Amino acid sequence: MTRIDARFEKLRAEGKKAFVAYVMAGDPDFDSALEVVKGLPGAGVDIIELGLPFTDPMADGPTIQLAGQRALAGGMTLEKTLETVRRFREGDQETPIVLMGYYNPIYSRGVDRFLADAQEAGVDGLIVVDLPPEEDDELCIPAQKAGLNFIRLATPTTDDKRLPKVLENTSGFVYYVSITGITGAAAAQSGEVGPEVARIKAQTDLPVIVGFGIRTPETAEEIASVADGCVVGSAIVGEIADGRSVEEILGFVKGLAEGAHRA
C-alpha cells in the first residue's frame, strides 16, 4: 500500500473527501516554495501535487506557465525538485506527494535513475500529462514496479470506448479534468462533473478526484460533493504570483480545504 492508498483509506474511514493542492516546485524561489509545501498539510491538504518546472507546459494555462518560468529562472531543476521532497520528508512521512509534469525532464535524466531517485526522495506518485496509455511501457509500468502510483487523467472527451484504456494501468486515483482546455481557464460545474464522475466510477474502484476550474471554497465543496475530492492549482499559484506571504497563501489554502472537507 502506497501513502496515497493509505490516505484515501483514512479519509474513507473518516467520511471525508480529499483536498489536493498543486504548487510549482521552486516558485518563486527554492526556500519560499519549500516553506509553502511544508505548510500545506497543516492547512488541511491531504495530498500534495508538486509541479515539475518545464519550458513547454502545453496543458497549462498562463498562471502555471508563468510559475514554471519563474522557477526555471530561479535555477530550479529536477534534482532540486527531488531535494524539495527530501526536505519535506524530514518532517512529514505521511502526506503523499505526487510529481506532476511532462516527460522530457524525466527522459533526459533516464527513467531508471529518475524512478530510483524519486522513490529515495519520498515521491509517491506521478502524473505525466504527455504520455498516453499507448506508451505505458515507457514509464507507467516501470513506475508501478518501483512502487510509485501512476495517475492518469480522464477528460470530458474521454469516451466509453477510450476510458478502459485510460484506466488500464492507472493506480492511486483517477484525475478527472472538469473542463475541456487548459488549467485555470474556466469554472467547474458540479452538474456537468457529477455524471462524468459516476461514469468513471462505474468502471474502476479507484477514487476519482476532480481538478481544473476550482477557485473558491464554495466550488471546492460543490465539486468534492460529487467526487472523491478535488484539486486546486491555478488559484493557489496565482496567490504566490501576487507576492502573498507564506501565511497568506496557507490561509487561502486552508479555506479551500475546509470547503472540500465540508462536502
Mean pLDDT of 42-57: 96
Cell of 144: 508501478
**pLDDT tens digits along 167-192:** 999 999 999 998 766 555 566 777 88
pLDDT over 70 (residue 200): yes
Q: Please identify which of the residues 5, 27, 49, 222 carries the catalytic annotation.
A: 49
The fraction of the chain above a pLDDT of 90, given in percent, is 90
Q: What is the pLDDT of residue 182?
A: 56
Task: Pick left, alpha or beta for residue 184 (phi over 0 → left; psi -120 to 50 → alpha; otherwise beta).
Answer: left
pLDDT over 80 (residue 259): yes
Q: Is 248 a catalytic residue?
A: no
**pLDDT tens digits along 121-144:** 999 999 999 999 999 999 999 999
Q: Please identify which of the residues 5, 46, 60, 221 carries the catalytic annotation.
A: 60
Alpha-carbon separation of residue 182 from 43, 129, 131, 194 (angstroms):
26, 12, 17, 20
Q: Is 159 a catalytic residue?
A: no
**CATH number for the segment(s) 3-262:** 3.20.20.70
* CB of 239 closer than 8 Å to CB of 256: no
**pLDDT tens digits along 201-229:** 999 999 999 999 899 999 999 999 999 99
Taking all residues of the chain, what is their mean pLDDT, rounded to a whole number? 95
For the chain, give every domain's residue range.
Answer: 3-262
Burial category of 91 from C-beta neighbours within 10 Å (exposed 0-12, middle 13-18, buried 19 and up): exposed
Mean pLDDT of 112-119: 98
Over its C-alpha atoms, the chain yields an Rg (Å, rounded) of 17
Mean pLDDT of 50-78: 93
Alpha-carbon separation of residue 220 from 65, 188, 195 (angstroms):
23, 9, 17
Q: What is the pLDDT of residue 61?
A: 85
* CB of 17 closer than 8 Å to CB of 227: yes
